[in-house]
Amino acid sequence: SAMLTLGDIVLLEQGDLVPADLRVLDCSPNMCVDNSSLTGESDPQKRKNECTHDDVLETANLCFFGTQVPEGSCRGLVVKIGDDTVIGRIASLALSTDSEQTPINREIEHFIHIISAIAIILGISFFAASLARGQDPIVSLVFMIGIIVANVPEGLLATVTVCLTLTAKRMYTKKVMVKNLEGVETLGSTSCICSDKTGTLTQNIMTVAQVVYADGDDNLRIQDTASSFSKGIRTYDPNSKAFHQLLRCSTLCNTCYFEKYYEDEASGKKVLLPFKKVRQQGDGTSIEEIVWTPIGNASEGAMIKFAHPALQESLGIKDIEELRQKNAIVFDIPFNSKKKYQVHIHCQSDDPAKDTDDRILYMKGAPERIFIRCTDFCASDGSIKPITPEFRGEMTRLQDKMGANGLRVLGFCMKKLPYDTFSADYPFSDGRDEKKSTPNFPLGEGPFIEKYANAKASGEPLKDDKGQLLDPPHEASGPGLVFLGMMALVDPPREAVPGAVAKCKTAGIKVIMVTGDHPGTAKAIAYKVGILWGPTKEDLIKANEDNRASPGDPDYQDPDLAQAIVAPGWEISDDMGHDKWNAILEHPQIVFARTSPQQKLVIVGHCQRLGHIVAVTGDGVNDSPALKKADIGIAMGIAGTPVTKNAADMILLDDNFASIVAGVEEGRLIFDNLKKSICYTLTSNIPEISPFLCWITMDTPMPLSTVLILAIDLGTDMVPAISMAYEDAEADIMKRPPRNAKVDRLVTRKLIFLAYLQIGIMQAMAGFYAWMVVLNDYGFPPTVLLGNPSGTGMFFGDQTMYCKFNGGQYVDFDGRVDPNTDPTVSPPTRRFPLWDRGDAGFLEKCTYPQKLFRGRQAQPKNSFKYREADTYNSRTFGLAQPTIEAIWALESKGFYEYVPWRGRMSPFWNNKWVAWNIERSEERLAGEKAGTLGRKGNVDGQLIFMAQPAGLYSACIANDYDLTGRKRPHKVGAYSNLRNIVKGANGFNLEDWEPADFSNYGDGSQCVGKLNGKRSYNQAQFCNGGYLDDGTPAGHQGCAALDNLTANVFYCKNGCGIDCQQVYGPQRNDDDVEQCQNVASRLVQTNANQHAQAAYWVSIVVVQWADLLICKTRWLSIRQQGLRNSVLNFGLFFETLLAAWLCYFTPFQVLGTRALRFTHWMPGIPFSMIIFIYDETRKYMMRATSPEVVNQATGQVTRVPGWIERFTYY
């Protein structure tokens, strides 16, 4: 074809492919082409050199590129080549059609927009709130990132990919190859399937479905041939003589033959193939397939496929070739579309020249052309008997009955030609060479001879369709023939198709047949497979006429109310108005026949206009534009052309419509499983976000860190979320109506409501409960954490905590009680630093010293060293610091340093905390990450000013003991809640407290003025009890007065310890003296909160057990669905094992996890049980209050949603 150009002459023979679009110049009478790849017609189309139709696809004088010549020969003129051919234009149309965005793509994009907006808004809000609280910008940024991370389901991408990949893999086992992964979900959203007929709904295998011959009572009966049309039932009698003659006629009056060898590539020899084999289809059913390829006309191919095994069984003949060899052909008249019959004359040996037996004429053709020629019939015993009027009426009745079932009926007859008349040298002729209109041998032309004579006698001789006088008939053609019977051929529906169509109807999916075949054939097949099941308008009109019913009569049926319609292509057009299209598409049962490629494209477009998600199937080139336009295009793998396969999103490897329904179920399953995975992932958002809300709004310590949020989202939740992709379909998946893309989104309000405001809140309650249980176990009851305006959230773990005790007792490391000190009126001593509740003691309130000194927004000088008081100045990075005056204010109202005895009993306690060498790194001790002391160098000095200082500040000393008017115009803000908590204790107001009440600073100095709790001071002196080499106090001369008052700072000879030898004054500068500090209060807070955060995190894992189980189903109970998902079962085990591994494997504790007590895994279990019971109850009530109803008109099963389903079914 590459060498051809316009105007070239091409000769075509049987079996050739047409190399270009040709106009037929001349051809043999039996010339035909197979246009099935172009129009979908399974029957070969006759060609001749006359234009018969304005439509190029309908006219008989054109042959199209890519089609095949199964029979005949012709000479043609090249009129179109390359892209200008009909197939080329269709291919160009397919390539120019824009692909639609897939529904799953739209849904994921919609979800991303929603979740991104929520995450960004919350992230920015928390960032701003954190900055407003005075938090470091970097820390605030980390919080913002944590909030954003908490809202984003990181496992979604992996889940979507795994879902689509697994489904594609499962689909391949069902003989469906997915080219576009997103297309599988699109198929699940499908509400309308526009299916081709040939090869998709049918087997594309022309088959002899039924035969008719005379039985033992000389009556004609329809007999089944064990085809799929009759579900494998066989009723014909292989021993009947009449059947034998019918079989011989169908084999000998036939030019088709088998290609039954294939060439072995290794040896180069031809190897005989088996006649047939059983092929497994994608839906699990099997189909018997003829392996030998028939060459020639499809109808004749069906006959020899039926005849080959029947000849062996009935006549003991090996195959059709043996029969033909033993009955050599003498003369033939090829099939002619005008005469509609074919004639073969055979001898009864392999050598016509030597055979002296009678010749036998065999004839087949259209039944009406056969019936009129027959005067006798072959009885079951082989005898010849005359045809009676009743017998002839039965012939016609059975023909009509089989035709009404969509079968193509052919009649068969024969005639013995006596050798005496028709010898070996008899010049058989069709009459044309003798100027006769009929052959020169018997052909049952008696009625025509009589008609010709009568016309001639009347003076009005017969003429042909061109107006030319007909030649006279040959006298020898008059004798009647012997009727043998009929064969009914069909391209049978696939066995699984009716059930698949019924499943589509149940699922609310409209199935529309769109074919290029004849309307009558399309209608018959549509009724067989269930696409049509009610009468059409024309059927009702005919029924009314037959019943003589008029409007108003009881048996009158209004044709306008017909539910079914068969719309031929010539009745629809591209520019037809929307009203007319709507009138057609509103029918629940639709067949479009004789459609062109452009019309198929328009049909798809109008279905999409009405809101349908459209899937289109096809195999021919004519289908490719519609496949490209559709939401999902499905090509046939066997019969499909390369152009069609390129345009499609998926390919049916077995060309089976039932595989599409399996794909619909898989697509719905994808959407279901994505919903479940997202719901599972979103439920943990609330317990991840709410700790930040509490930290911001309730001033609590942080219950969950950003790193642990990541450990949930990228660790424990990842495998369970992905495991949803492996979940089996729920039982009702194909009883639901197709998804309404405008309402039933991937993420809906009901899903958000369930995930956030129901399950999410329960999970958050479990987390907070576990967090508070652990903190309480380590000495920090909820009264310390909640409802306490003390800056707890900002200072917890960074500063020493001061509490007002109601009872209780001070104890040492071994639990011995201090008998001399009352915790309600005196602070703890160094010997007895721990507070124990005793029998009935409790904490009234807790707080932190007021940060009354705010230094300059500048970095200290390079010479700064946190251990040397002289290097401190007013530069503190703008960070406020507590003062000794604020500590004295607390102690004056009964607030004393708090180190809980329960903290001492914890697994993280270290006795060295009470007397810590500040030159040692806190980070090296049991992995405490909050340590600020002992850092090498002072590069990051900002951390020093954010935590418990290595000494204390005094506002009075720095201001010459006069605070009058000495304040900085900065609001203390979140740092300044002390006045409120102290005011709450016995009505004390910090602003009323005068430092002069403490008249002795150690040297008898008095401070003038009042403290101001609303404003910070811009000057304060840092004192740590140190001395210079010259013996003067480090920092300020006044610091010497605070040697014994410097809070939690003391000096020990020969190393720090609870029983160390303390030194005072200038001796503190000796080489063997170390500066020590009591950091126990701060580090107990730090470690207790770390364990509490780990418990919060573990509780989320525990409640996610229940969440994973409830998300397995949206409708069914877990008992009905079962636990067959092994990947999900592994996910439960995996997240538990990973949580334990992160907690107890020391290297992973850098994430913030801790080795929890086993009992601290328990708080989440009751909440997990509550979540499971709650959701099972919700689903049970949904099922109980939402009955199912079947729509009798469409077969669709719909659910009448009850109140619970309407508000909670996501």
Q: If phi over 0 gives left and psi between -120 and 50 gives alpha, with beta otherwise, what is residue 699?
A: left
Q: Output the six-digit token pair for 90.
A: 């269709």
Nearest to 669 by CA among 1119, 156, 162: 162
Q: Which of 21, 34, 196, 631 is catalytic?
A: 196
Under DSSP, is residue 1048 helix (H, G, I), strand (E, B) or coil?
Answer: coil
Nearest to 167 by CA among 175, 178, 154: 178
Give 793-860 as a DSSP string.
Answer: HHHTTTS--EEEEES-EEE-TT--B-TT--TTTSPPPSSS-EEE-TTT-EEEEEE-----EE-BSSPP
Q: Output the six-digit token pair for 683.
A: 């439920």
* Burial class (CB within 10 angstroms; exposed 0-12, middle 13-18, buried 19+) of 749: exposed
Q: Output the six-digit token pair for 31.
A: 């010339």
Q: Output the six-digit token pair for 1045.
A: 């008052």
Nearest to 667 by CA among 748, 739, 741: 739
Q: Output the six-digit token pair for 510.
A: 């409209």
Which residues, 6 or more positions from 1081, have their beta carbon under 8 angstroms from its beta carbon? 800, 801, 897, 898, 899
**Cβ 446 vs Cβ 374: under 8 Å:** no
**Cβ 188 vs Cβ 170: under 8 Å:** no
Under DSSP, is residue 199 helix (H, G, I), strand (E, B) or coil?
Answer: coil
Using the structure block, give the residue that is written with the tokens 């719909």: 1198
Helix 597-609, helix 86-96: angle, nearest 10? 20
End-to-end CA distance of the chain: 58
* Burial class (CB within 10 angstroms; exposed 0-12, middle 13-18, buried 19+) of 470: middle
**Cβ 925 vs Cβ 986: under 8 Å:** no
Give 646-678 as a DSSP string.
Answer: HH-SEEETT--HHHHHHHHHHHHHHHHHHHHHH
Rounded distance between C-alpha atoms, residue 661 and residue 304, angstroms: 34
Which residues, 6 or more positions from 721, have their beta carbon under 8 angstroms from its beta carbon? 153, 155, 156, 158, 159, 677, 680, 681
CA-to-CA dists, residue 907 to 126, 661, 768, 903, 1156, angstroms: 34, 61, 21, 8, 9
**Cβ 345 vs Cβ 441: under 8 Å:** yes
Q: Output the six-digit token pair for 1187.
A: 């009955």
Rounded distance between C-alpha atoms, residue 227 and residue 236, angstroms: 12
Which residues, 6 or more positions from 605, have their beta carbon under 8 angstroms from its beta carbon? 629
* Whether residue 196 lies in the annotated active site: yes
Nearest to 340 by CA among 302, 369, 363: 369
So which residues are the catalytic ones? 196
